[in-house]
Amino acid sequence: MKHIQIKERVYYIGANDRKKSLFENNWPLPNGVAYNSYLIKDQKNVLIDTLEFGAKDDYIENIKAILEGEQLDYLVVNHMEPDHSSMVGFIIKEFPNIKVVANSKAFKMLEAYFGLDNSQIHEVKDGDVLEIGYHKLNFVLTPWVHWPETMMTYDSTDKILFSCDAFGSFGTLDGGIFDDEINFQFYEDEMRRYYSNIVGKYSNMVQKAFAKLEGVDISVICPSHGPVWRTNPSLPISLYDKWSKHESEEGVVIAFASMYGNTEKMADYLARLIAERGVKNIRIFDVSKTHVSFIINEIWKYKGVILGSSAYNAGMHPMMQHLCHELEGLNPKNKNYALFGSYSWSGGGVKSLISFADKMTWNKVAEPFEIMGVPDSSKMGGLSEIADNIL
Ligand code: FEO
């Protein structure tokens, strides 16, 4: 493969993973994922983050080809999650004199995973600068974006921000590496799904990271997943700003769990009522069919959330329980919500949905509505109040 240059001395050496089914063995990857690694060739040669083990069998050869016989002097470890760090041991074995650049929070993990001792580590603190010749690398500690030890590296010479997980996306890089080489429509949904499910829980820390980066002149963003932003770096910044402030768009997500179709009929009836009131963005999901990550993505996007469940063992349906568990953990905010459901014996589905919603900081727009038996139109009156008020 030809070398991919970001700037004269800065190279992209990432890899696509089309084999893995589940990111973190949890999140579906229908479009795969890219792990991005970068190499700066200067008086001191620097590798910025590695790859997930096995993603690229010629990774070391690629590095050597760019180095043309020179040594690798530093490996910057911005983040210890193994999708970026599981090649650290191989790099050290190949380049035994290398120094690993990391902050103190990563030290214990570097020792525990790779047996590194202090003599192999170059510690950096927030605001430290490492001069490697033409380039000056500035380190910005950004804890919890996405784990406690995470930091970003800013090259103040070429004005490149190596942002790690921030501004990343699911989806492989299919030929196009840079934002001006891709159709972003393909990536926007996957970028938000990545944000909402992986980073969104720590939205307040994203805002703190933004505060630290205030006034920094950024011409290129090199994240650890997804496209490299060399033409319009302000776009991912504005999207992350919006998502981390929990700003949403006009629209409604109806997620239902239905054992034999009655609660689904209520969802369809309700969606029709909402459409008649002029709402164009309405998305209905069967939680038993669609993985929660896709539903959470849409919930993060839209203002209205309506959850419906049949009763199941005197509680909500187990698949709805899964969605509620994830929502409680990820904690999307600024939502209007309503609840509905159906039952045959003593109920309990809506009651347990109420217990979930009480734990959220969402705005209730209508009383929960539950029916027994067949949901014919004569019983659906309570859904009108939800349709009237959801937005
Ligand atoms: Fe892409 Fe938090 O690892």
Residues 185 and 271 in one domain: no
Residues 183 and 101 in one domain: yes
Ligand 1 contact, 224 CB (< 6 A): yes
Ligand 1 contact, 264 CB (< 6 A): no
pLDDT band for position 159 (50/70/90)? very high
* DSSP code string of 129-179: EEE-SS-EEEEEE-TTSSSTT-EEEEETTTTEEEEETTT--SB---S--BG
Q: Kindly report, residue by residue over 13-29, the tens digit of the pLDDT.
A: 999 999 999 999 999 99
Residues 264 and 193 in one domain: no
In 3D space, the residue among 147, 154, 161, 49 whose CA is nearest the CA of residue 105 turns out to be 147
Residues 207 and 237 in one domain: yes
Residues 258 and 192 in one domain: no
Residues 235 and 272 in one domain: no
Ligand 1 contact, 83 CB (< 6 A): yes
Residues 367 and 239 in one domain: no
- Cα-to-centroid distance, 379 and ligand 1 (Å): 48
* Stated pTM of the model: 0.95
> What is the extent of the structural domain holding 165?
4-244
Residues 92 and 205 in one domain: yes
- Cα-to-centroid distance, 82 and ligand 1 (Å): 8
Ligand 1 contact, 335 CB (< 6 A): no
Please calculate the CA angle 39-44-46 and round it to the nearest 5 degrees: 25
Q: Which distant-in-sequence residues (6+ apart) come within 8 Å of 278 by Cβ? A: none
* Residue owning the nearest CA to atom 3 of ligand 1: 81
Domain boundary among 221, 244, 267: 244
Taking the CA of residue 168 as reference, the ligand 1 atom at the shortest distance is 1
Number of domains in the chain: 2
The neighbour count for residue 275, using CB atoms within 10 Å, is: 14
Taking the CA of residue 147 as reference, the ligand 1 atom at the shortest distance is 2
Q: How far apart are CA 105 and CA 355, in angstroms?
A: 37
* Residue owning the nearest CA to atom 1 of ligand 1: 165
Residues 16, 34: contact at Cβ < 8 Å?
yes
Domain boundary among 214, 244, 274: 244
pLDDT at 2 over 90: no
Q: Kindly report, residue by residue over 231-282, the tens digit of the pLDDT.
A: 999 999 999 999 999 999 999 999 999 999 999 999 999 999 999 999 999 9
Ligand 1 contact, 190 CB (< 6 A): no
Question: Cα 232 to the chain's mean position, in Å?
Answer: 20
Ligand 1 contact, 44 CB (< 6 A): no
pLDDT at 182 over 90: yes
Domain boundary among 244, 270, 285: 244
- Cα-to-centroid distance, 81 and ligand 1 (Å): 5
Q: What is the CATH number of the domain that holds 131?
A: 3.60.15.10
Residues 349 and 213 in one domain: no
Q: What is the CATH number of the domain that holds 366?
A: 3.40.50.360
Ligand 1 contact, 169 CB (< 6 A): no
Residues 232 and 192 in one domain: yes
Taking the CA of residue 224 as reference, the ligand 1 atom at the shortest distance is 1
Compute the average pLDDT of residues 73-96. 96
Ligand 1 contact, 37 CB (< 6 A): no
- Cα-to-centroid distance, 84 and ligand 1 (Å): 7
Residues 13 and 148 in one domain: yes
Q: Which of 33-37, 275-279, 344-348, 360-364 has the lowest mean pLDDT?
A: 344-348
pLDDT at 1 over 80: no
Ligand 1 contact, 78 CB (< 6 A): no
Compute the average pLDDT of residues 212-237. 97
Q: Which distant-in-sequence residues (6+ apart) come within 8 Å of 243 by Cβ? A: 192, 195, 196, 200, 203, 300
Ligand 1 contact, 85 CB (< 6 A): no
Compute the average pLDDT of residues 188-207. 96
- Cα-to-centroid distance, 165 and ligand 1 (Å): 5
pLDDT given for residue 171 in this prediction:
97
Residues 48, 40: contact at Cβ < 8 Å?
yes
Ligand 1 contact, 149 CB (< 6 A): no
- Cα-to-centroid distance, 279 and ligand 1 (Å): 36
Ligand 1 contact, 79 CB (< 6 A): yes
Ligand 1 contact, 165 CB (< 6 A): yes
**Percentage, residues of the chain above pLDDT 70:** 100
Phi, psi of 60 (to 5 degrees): -65, -40
Residues 198 and 338 in one domain: no
Ligand 1 contact, 194 CB (< 6 A): no
